[in-house]
Amino acid sequence: MFVEKPLATKVSEVDELSRCASKQHLVVITGHTFVYNSAVHYVKKLIHAGELGELRYVYAPRLNLERICSDVDALWNFAPHDISIIQYWLGDPEPIAIGR
């Protein structure tokens, strides 16, 4: 079962999706399409080759707001993409802090 982001807004909803999928012998996954973008792959190569120096933080400003979905707010619409890209670049690290 493919679920577009956001997967859910509550842990109880995730649990319910998992239960329904298991009952139907399905796997629930979300689409992180930007992880397959060639520019994202290129930046990962730069990071891992050390060409960008020591990475201390990642800043992800939104300069072009594309189409905003009407069923979720901008945070739920855009943040999952940025987070999945950062996790791909850095090997799924645990964040130390999240700020604005």
Give per-residue pLDDT as tens, 1-46: 566 667 787 889 989 988 999 999 998 877 677 888 999 999 999 9
DSSP 47-59: HHTTTT-S-----
Residue 8, CA distances (Å) to 1, 16, 47, 70 in order: 14, 10, 31, 16
pTM: 0.62
E strand or H helix at 44: helix 38-48
> Sign of the CA dihedral 87, 41, 14, 67?
positive
